[in-house]
Amino acid sequence: MANIELTDEGVLVVTLYGELDNHEANGIRGEVSSAIYAGKVQTIIWNLEKLGFMDSAGIGLILGRMRDLSPFNGETIILNPSSTMEKIFSFSGLEENIRHSTVAEAMREIGGVLNEK
């Protein structure tokens, strides 16, 4: 299950719950990609704090949306992955995208950067 919210500042907050498998990832993929291609998204925050399980489809979901956001010079933040998920993201070269904070703290962090543009 996912809760997806787009702020007025172009930050898409995707909070994932429970288990993320291929079926669930497909639904989220369409919604997130549509927002990106509509030009509404500057940053994606993936909040994984309440996610218990993610298979390779979940990793692909996040990596693919990073690729979609790249032409728009967008940023991706991965919040609070489990230790296992964090290792997988690190092996994928995404350690710089990982944060251990609240959504509000991450929003404040990127808010300053977005307001400088």
Domain boundaries along the sequence of the chain: 2-116
Cβ-in-10-Å burial (0-12, 13-18, 19+) of 116 comes to exposed
Task: Give the single-character DSSP code of 10.
Answer: S
Per-residue pLDDT tens for 58-91?
999 999 999 999 998 999 999 999 999 999 999 9
Distance between CA 21 and CA 55 in Å, rounded?
A: 6
* 55 has a pLDDT exceeding 90: no
Distances in whole angstroms, Cα of residue 79 to Cα of each of 23, 39, 71, 82, 117: 22, 23, 22, 10, 24
CATH architecture of 2-116: 2-Layer Sandwich (3.30)
pTM for this predicted structure: 0.90
